[in-house]
Structure 1
């Protein structure tokens, strides 16, 4: 939460990753398991919300619920929510996020995911939600990557793309921008990344203000 508070104070938009607890509560957390951040090997999805509330992070804080972050933002800064979900069984996490967003109908919030099924769920269930597809070519190979992206775009019909900075410039990003589809890029960590993003993307996702 300290990083989110600093972003709000500076007027920066916020990007966060979200996973669901076993009982369907959305938490702001990147990893599938608690190992790296809490020294415990349980999967977040295997724990109920009350148990997750009791997990302590390295800074002494707790794992925030998405509802708490939305309240902290209070609609003052844009929030970009990345849904972490594997496979086609996306309803629990998507429904959890949608419930929290419903409490802030006028807040500037967009939802995105690597998983096209999650984006597709929102297309069908939350009309009017601004939606993005996250894509990367890294580790995909020359054939697998384009095929996966084509299928993902067909399934999700996103409003914007979030492309890996390491892939830019790319045929995908050029075609998207030519069609009027905004391109975000992640994660910008250097002056060289920023210079590349300025040419080939419409907005950046960064980690530190000096990026």
Structure 2
């Protein structure tokens, strides 16, 4: 399995092409990316019944002003909320797929449900695989959680998968044991989970393991690029970017 070439030639809008009044991970942000000809990166969290929702945070407060956790909220209650500063709702993955409809590459990130990047991934990977059945268009799946990627790959072997990766500094990942953080920083799970690409933090592109993987044929994307200057530097290593805050 290899990552389709379109993922290496089309800049990918981080959480859609969002801007003031066009919230991240919204249908409006997806429309804006499609109109601009960008690929789309989106995040998946589960609703209380396991329905895959396009939403980044575990807590709803930042993005909706509503206290509570998305995984403890029903799809009906989520549908009644509006994303801050807009009339946009939290879309289900099914609604997001219906809108994108294969027009641009779609890079889906499932958020870790274990809390420690461990094996307790629940049924979210399988639910995402189910939502993608019959989807016609370039799509790839990634996660910081290797076990999530492995579970999805087992459920949907035809969809390219990769790992979202970084240096796993303790300050950013205090809940993850030190030994596990070291293993994750060395991307030791790459072959085990069936990955064909990584999406690596721009601040850690000097990691020798990134060069080694690319030399071995892995595709290398990078996140999150926020200026043309950052893009120019990142492209010395990465083949494509996930960006926000400017027109790539």
C-alpha distance after superposition, 1:128-181 (max 9, x if no partner): 210010011152499764422444335423110000001112212100110010
Q: Using the alignment, how far apart are the partners of 2:187 and 2:100 within structure 1?
A: 35
Say whether the 8 Å CA contact 1:91–1:121 is kept in structure 2: no
Distance in 2, matches of 1:143 and 1:97, equals 30
Say whether residues 1:6 and 2:32 are aligned partners.
yes
| Structure with larger RCO (C-alpha < 8 A, sep 6+) | 2
**Residue 167 of structure 2 aligns with which residue?**
137
Normalised by the length of structure 1, the TM-score is 0.92
Counterpart for residue 156 of structure 2: 126
Whole-angstrom CA distance in 2 between matches of 1:36 and 1:10: 27
Structure with more of its chain in helix, by fraction: 1
Counterpart of 2:207 (choices 149, 156, 170) is 170
1:57 aligns with 2:83: yes
Determine the structure 2 residue equivalent to 1:147. Answer: 183
Aligned: 1:114 with 2:144: yes
Q: Is the 8 A contact 1:138 1:167 kept in 2?
A: no
Cα distance in 2 for residues equivalent to 1:181 and 1:124 = 20
Residue segments in structure 2 that go unaligned for 5+ positions in a row? 1-26, 172-177
Contact 1:82–1:113 (8 Å) recurs in 2: yes
Instruction: Name the CA shift for 1:45/1:144 in 2 (closer, same or farther; >3 Å).
Output: closer
Q: Does 1:196 align with 2:233?
A: yes
1:160 equivalent in alignment to 2:197: yes
**How far is the alpha carbon of 1:123 from its aligned partner?**
2.2
For the aligned residue pairs, the C-alpha RMSD in angstroms reads 1.9
1:34 aligns with 2:60: yes
Give the Cα–Cα distance (whole angstroms) in 2 for the partners of residues 144 and 69 of structure 1: 33
Q: Is the 8 A contact 2:227 2:245 kept in 1?
A: no
TM-score by length of 2: 0.79
